[in-house]
Amino acid sequence: MDTNSEITYSQDCPSRTVLSVLANKWSLYILGMLGQNDRPLRFTELRRHIGGVTQKSLTQALRNLERDGLVSRTVYPTIPPRVEYALTSLGHEAEALTTAIADWSKTNAARVHAARGAYDARTG
C-alpha cells in the first residue's frame, strides 16, 4: 500500500471528516437537488422535493454543508425572513460525484436487490 493510501485510511486523516459529510444520505440528496435546479432553493422546497427527510435532519445536513463550503445560505430581510440555499463552486464539484453515485444506483438497483434476495434466501 502506498503512503497516500495509508494516510487516507488513517483515523487521523482530515479527509475523513469531509467524507463523513458527503456520505450522509441527506447531503447526497441536497447536493443533487440543488444541482438539478437553475436557481437557489428555499428550505421548504428542498424538504418537499426530498421525500422522507425530517426538518431536523435537513437543517443539520444544510448546516454541515454550509460549514464545509459546499452550500451557501442567503437570508433576505423580509417578513418572514426568506432563506435560500445554493451550491458553491466547491459544492458543484461535489455534486458531480453525487450525480455519478445516483446514476450508478439507478443503473444497478435491480442487481443489488437481486443480490440481497439471494443472500437472504441463503441465510434466512
Average pLDDT of span 51-63: 96
How many domains does the chain contain in total? 1
Is the pLDDT confidence value at 5 over 60?
Answer: no
pLDDT band at residue 22, thresholds of 50, 70 and 90? confident
Average pLDDT of span 41-59: 96
| Least confident piece of the model among 9-13, 42-46, 117-121 | 9-13
Average pLDDT of span 84-95: 96
In angstroms, the CA 56 to CA 60 distance is: 6
Is the pLDDT confidence value at 18 over 90?
Answer: no
Domain that holds residue 13: 3-123
Q: Which of 108, 98, 107 is nearest to 28 (CA)?
A: 98
The CATH number that applies at residue 84 is: 1.10.10.10
* pTM of the predicted model as reported, rounded to 2 decimal places: 0.84
DSSP per position, the chain = --HHHHHHHSTT-THHHHHHHHTSHHHHHHHHHHHH-SS-EEHHHHHHHSTT--HHHHHHHHHHHHHTTSEEEEEE--SSPEEEEEE-HHHHHHHHHHHHHHHHHHHHHHHHHHHHHHHHHHH-
Is the pLDDT confidence value at 27 over 60?
Answer: yes
- Render pLDDT for 101-121 as a digit per residue (tens, 0 to 9): 999 999 999 999 999 999 999
Q: What is the average pLDDT score of the chain?
A: 91
